[in-house]
Amino acid sequence: QSVLTQPPSASGTPGQRVTISCSGSSSNIGSNTVNWYQQLPGTAPKLLIYSNNQRPSGVPDRFSGSKSGTSASLAISGLQSEDEADYYCATWDDSLNGPYVFGTGTKVTVL
């Protein structure tokens, strides 16, 4: 059972803006930076955002991340059909349960 909560699904039409939330606690998001991963159907996850709001080389600037307190969010602006995927937030957790925790995951559907 994940300690980071995400909505199970989100959707939008091409060109729209979609936002995914990630809710945690003081021991994880509240005290560590957040990473986001994109998992296209049938493939391995890929780092999308690191350190709350940084994009790795090659990630389009329509993907953006933010963090406030014990929550984080991922925004996809100008939604495209190839953005249809599962998205996971993740961060380190300072509790005894283990160093790294993933969110429950959000399936983004492009209508």
Partner 1 sequence: EVQLVEFGGGLVKPGVSLRLSCAASGFTFSSYTMNWVRQAPGKGLEWVSSISSGSSDKYYADSVKGRFTISRDNAKNSLYLQMNSLRVEDTAVYYCARDSTFDPWGQGTLVTVSS
Window 35-94: residues binding partner 1 (CB under 8 A):
35, 37, 39, 44-47, 50, 56, 86, 88, 90, 92
Nearer to partner 1, 16 or 51 (CB): 51
Angstrom distance (rounded) from CA 36 to CA 83: 14
Quote the tokens at residue 60.
Answer: 């389009």
Closest CA relative to residue 48, chosen from 90, 101, 18: 90
Number of residues forming the site for partner 1 (CB under 8 A): 23
Q: Which residues lie across from 91 on neighbouring strands?
A: 34, 101
Q: In the complex, which residues of this chain contact partner 1 (CB under 8 A)?
A: 2, 35, 37, 39, 44-47, 50, 56, 86, 88, 90, 92, 97-105
